[in-house]
Amino acid sequence: MFTSLGVISCYAHNSVRRFLVASRARMAGLLHSVTLPRVPTKHEKCYDPHDPTVKFVDKEDDLDFLCEDFKSRRAQMSCGHAVTPTSLTNWCRKLLEQGESRFVCGGSGCSAEWTFSEVWKMALLTPQETEHFRNKLAVNAALQTLITKSCPVCRSTLMRENGSDLNVLCKVCTAVKGRPFEFCWQCLREWKGPRPRKDRCENDGCCNQSLKTLKTCPDISFDSVEGVNGCPSVRACPTCGLLLEHNKRHCKSLVCPRCKVKFCFVCLKIFTKCMKTSGPYAACSSGVAPRQTSIPVWKKK
């Protein structure tokens, strides 16, 4: 599996560069939807029922979230969950689209990580799919590693030391100018105003696109959750701050694809805490949490 810059192919490396250049302005507001594909699978893959290297099981397909009822026999992954090659391909492709650089089981209560070789074998990846998955893994791994920006003056590459402070000191420009040179991580202009700040600097037009999305997104109407009104359709994960959109279906909880924490989309409490006084399809006892006005900073342990 490609998990570090040292093993990224030339094609993937160039893709990273193009992606970073094109995405700088919108990365802060990048919206990761956790909704599943609505378009049914057109081309189904089936296991060879006589393949002795595959362990077949008489179980439901744990990754068939759209209830497409694939015709292939079910096979058991290393974690014990049952899949078909098409449902596994669809799930892993969704993980890659969400920016993941690991293949993690989507089965209920499972967080097992699969190797690329296992996914390749059990998903019956075509040569085209194999190339796409490898390159996408490399790009995602690089993006997760290279959370950097360039100084607006000297263009040196910097990493922000404090994730909750937009004020960044460029040591190169500070040495050249003989005075501290600070710029805004958000608008990439020389810093204006008091510090530290996590919302914006005092430059005209400095705006946090993520906060703007949280403020202006429409309300959501759940298909299966009763008694909930005025809930925003986009929330920032209360643990890591990733923007997530509910697909309106099923229960009111979501599992964040980045930090893997399950939380209630309505009250924003950790799901287990919410369930002490409510149900997965019922209104929360504490009501609908107001629109968020700040982005949580992930404090990794």
Residue ranges of domains in the chain: 5-27+56-145, 208-301
Task: Answer left, alpha or beta for residue 55, where phi above 0 means left and psi between -120 and 50 means alpha.
Answer: beta
Checking if the pLDDT of 111 tops 80, the result is yes
Task: Indicate the length of the chain as a whole number.
Answer: 301
User: What are the backbone angles phi and psi of residue 179, rounded to the nearest 5°?
Assistant: -150, 155
Picking from 274, 268, 270, 251, the residue whose alpha carbon sits closest to that of residue 260 is: 270
Q: So what's the pLDDT on residue 155?
A: 87
Q: Are 235 and 217 spatial neighbours (Cβ–Cβ below 8 Å)?
A: no
Checking if the pLDDT of 5 tops 60, the result is no
d(CA 183, CA 166): 8
- Strand partners for 264: 253
Q: So what's the pLDDT on residue 171?
A: 94
Say if strands 167-169 and 182-184 run parallel, antiparallel, or are unpaired. antiparallel
Checking if the pLDDT of 134 tops 70, the result is yes
Between 148 and 90, the higher pLDDT residue = 90
94-98: average pLDDT = 88
d(CA 240, CA 92): 22
> Dihedral angle at the C-alpha atoms of 91, 92, 93, 99, nearest 10 degrees?
110
Amino acid at 296: P
Q: So what's the pLDDT on residue 262?
A: 93
Q: So what's the pLDDT on residue 143?
A: 61
- Strand partners for 33: 245
Q: So what's the pLDDT on residue 200?
A: 87
| Lookup: tokens for 190 | 């020389």
CATH topology of domain 5-27+56-145: Herpes Virus-1 (3.30.40)
Q: So what's the pLDDT on residue 144?
A: 57
Q: Are 181 and 173 spatial neighbours (Cβ–Cβ below 8 Å)?
A: yes
Q: So what's the pLDDT on residue 142?
A: 62
| Lookup: tokens for 145 | 């590693």
Checking if the pLDDT of 12 tops 60, the result is no
Q: So what's the pLDDT on residue 297?
A: 76
d(CA 293, CA 128): 43
d(CA 191, CA 158): 15
d(CA 250, CA 81): 21
Q: Tens of pLDDT along 246-264? A: 888 889 999 887 788 999 9
- Predicted TM-score (pTM) of the model is 0.45
Amino acid at 288: V
Q: So what's the pLDDT on residue 41?
A: 55
- Share of residues in the chain with pLDDT > 70 (%): 83
Q: Tens of pLDDT along 28-83? A: 333 333 333 334 455 799 999 999 999 999 999 999 988 889 999 999 999 999 99
Q: Tens of pLDDT along 163-190? A: 778 999 999 999 999 999 999 998 999 9
d(CA 75, CA 48): 11
d(CA 165, CA 202): 14
Q: So what's the pLDDT on residue 300?
A: 65
Q: Are 217 and 223 spatial neighbours (Cβ–Cβ below 8 Å)?
A: no
Checking if the pLDDT of 15 tops 60, the result is no
Q: So what's the pLDDT on residue 147?
A: 63
Q: Are 228 and 253 spatial neighbours (Cβ–Cβ below 8 Å)?
A: no
Q: Which pLDDT band holds residue 20 (cuts at 50, 70, 90)? A: very low
Checking if the pLDDT of 294 tops 50, the result is yes
Q: So what's the pLDDT on residue 154?
A: 93
Checking if the pLDDT of 2 tops 50, the result is no
